[in-house]
Amino acid sequence: MKPTIANDPTGLDPVDEIIAYHDRTKHHPERYARGPGGLDWSTQPNPFRRFDGAPMLRLPLAQRDDTPAAAILFGAGAAPPRPFTLEALGLFFELSLGLSARKEVSGMSWYLRVNPSSGNLHPTEGYAVLPALEWLPGGGGVYHYAPREHGLEQRARRSGDGRVYADGFWVGLTSIPWREAWKYGERAFRYCQHDVGHAVAALRYAAAALGWRVSLAPEWTEAQLARLLGVDRGEDFTGAERETPELLVRVRVNDLVGTAATPAADEPVEWFGRANALSPSHAEWPVIDAAIAVSERRAVIAEQPAARAVWPRPAPPPCTGSAGQLIRQRRSAVDFDGLTSMTRETFLAILDTTLPRGSAPPFDAWPFPPRLHLVLFVHRVTGLEPGLYLWLRAAADEEALRQAFHGVSTWEVPAHLDPTVPLRRLGRGDLREFARALSCQQDIAADGAFSLGMLARFEPVLRACGAGAWRELFWEAGMIGQSLYLAAEAAGVRGTGIGCFFDEGLHRALGLTGHDWQSLYHFTVGNPVEDQRLRTAPPYEPLPRTGYLAPG
Ligand SMILES: Cc1cc2nc3c(=O)[nH]c(=O)nc-3n(C[C@H](O)[C@H](O)[C@H](O)COP(=O)(O)O)c2cc1C
């Protein structure tokens, strides 16, 4: 029987179903979304998927940092494209989905990665679909990226190897929802989608450091993607957690050659390897299974593209280091000092990186119109009164938001601000307690310079584009989060994604009713306080790195 979410079993419209999932996975102060009620450490999922029996190509680790200045990550120019070599491919994965550090405390240790993840559980898996290249010993095919080994496990050899994707390659992302559900229960599928968005932006930023380009390929349905990546091969996942196909991006390594040949999902291939089991047993979360099924992208329904506002040239946050350094140093703040202010210029430069520009990462990879805006709680920004603000990422939505915010009577451009800057003041006041309470009582929402909620145009998008667009909204939120993480690092401060928040608390404060607008993700930025008990070690052993290892 098809799993359903809504209590009313007649309501089987996928859009109704995904809205029902969205509603039932809201946290409320008096009732959190249904979770496991405690952590079962005996089933803690392995954060590293491997395919036993698949040949592994170890990628080289960068020996020195020769990446360009970090400002190129924010649209200030572009690096000359690197030739497509094994070293360049290694750097691309190192700077997107690779490990960034090993943390140690009292005999325990864990890895951090370039891409963040809710609870550091890392549900996102990455695959490269590579053409035949002379430095690729296994030939063209499908490769799973193994971050701990910094290697590519060859899942498939494509027999149509004469087919060369002349200008680059493809990266597919999948989710293993169980990794998140183990800790977060029903709300976990939201976090999987945030993490996919972070990973897409991480891919785009890594490509920018190499002078490459990335674009999302929305024409792929999930069934085609599952086929291409081999995650529909039940026989290779016996006893192992299945992967949900999410999206495919195209990576262009040079602009000289014409359009890329699209890999064909139905090309005959030879498959290798069997997925490892990540936990010895699992709790069932049928509501997540249903959410996966109803939000499957079966076809792409084109939305009337919103008129893309032409934003002024980007104003990157002041930063001195290299792109590689900035990408590797990204961390989540676990605590802020509750004291330090930032200047209005820094604040605006950080927000500026979230604007969708056709010429700046990460949103030059994004094929959809911008659908999310930032509701800001400004605590400590010199030259800006504390209070409630709105950062409009699509100017065309201003009037609709103004009409929808029944609880807001002020709508003004802050004094002495360039009128082209899309910041509006909605109210003055000390919002530290409100922000803390809204973010499940987390101090990080109050103790930084500012925090925010990301508000998405919601039901109208789902009705126009189908239930699959629910995932896209979360991907966009994750991409905004990744741009905030990097912009904060560039400005000498630090950010943290906040997945635990009370959805309706923000809606009520703004006077929003219904599902036209929904808050999808929160974020905070400030001056971090390090946890002195933790030791930080490099993530990779200095091993002889490259080589093609046959299985066994
Ligand atoms: C979608 C998402 C939600 C998150 N939610 C929270 C949160 O509610 N509270 C928090 O302290 N950290 C949160 N984080 C930060 C993660 O805990 C952090 O990314 C993870 O521990 C890995 O650490 P790193 O970001 O330093 O690599 C979130 C991160 C993501 C990507």
Q: How many CB atoms lie within 10 A of CB 430?
A: 12
Residue 455 pLDDT > 60, yes or no? yes
Distance 176 CA to ligand 1 centre (A): 17
Average pLDDT, the chain: 92
Query: Is residue 7 pLDDT above 80, yes or no?
Result: no
Q: Taking the chain, what is the end-to-end CA distance rounded to the nearest angstrom?
A: 41
Cβ pair 338, 527 in contact under 8 A: no
Cα 334 to ligand 1 centre (Å): 9
Question: 275 versus 266: which is more confidently predicted?
Answer: 275
CA of 495 to the centre of ligand 1 (A): 10
Give the whole-angstrom CA distance, residue 496 versus residue 488.
Answer: 10
- Of 69-73, 232-236, 296-300, 530-534, the poorest mean pLDDT is in 296-300
Q: How far away, in angstroms, is 301 Cα from ligand 1 center?
A: 32
Distance 439 CA to ligand 1 centre (A): 13
What atom in ligand 1 is closest to the CA of residue 119? 17
pLDDT of 11 above 80: no
Å from CA of 538 to ligand 1 middle: 20
3-class DSSP state of 493: coil
Q: Does 124 have pLDDT greater than 80?
A: yes
Give the rounded distance of the alpha carbon of 259 from its chain centre. 27
State which ligand 1 atom lies nearest to the alpha carbon of 114: 27
Q: Whose CA is nearest to atom 10 of ligand 1?
A: 498
Q: Which residues form ligand 1's pocket by a CB distance below 6 Å?
A: 112, 116-120, 191, 194-195, 198, 331-332, 442, 444, 496-500
**Per-residue confidence (pLDDT) for residue 1, from 0 to 100:** 45
Q: Which of 109, 187, 498 to mutate to test the pocket of ligand 1 (most atoms within 8 A of CB)?
A: 498
Sequence-distant (6+) residues with CB within 8 A of 259 are 167
CA of 523 to the centre of ligand 1 (A): 10
| Three-class HEC string of 56-115 | EEECCCCCCCCCCEHHHHHCCCCCCCCCCCHHHHHHHHHCCCCEEEEEEECCEEEEEECC
* Residue identifier of the C-alpha nearest atom 20 of ligand 1: 120
Tens digit of each residue's pLDDT (9 = 90 or more) over 142-173: 999 999 999 999 999 986 544 455 678 999 99
Look at ligand 1, atom 16, and give the residue with the nearest C-alpha.
Answer: 118
Whole-prediction pTM value? 0.96
Pocket test for ligand 1, best of 96, 117, 184, 501 (most atoms within 8 A of CB): 117
Ligand 1 centre and the CA of 120: distance in Å?
Answer: 7
**Do the beta carbons of residue 175 and residue 163 sit within 8 Å?**
no
Place of tokens 């109210």: 427
pLDDT band at 198 (very low <50, low <70, confident <90, very high): very high
Taking a C-beta distance cutoff of 8 angstroms, is the pair 429, 386 a contact?
yes
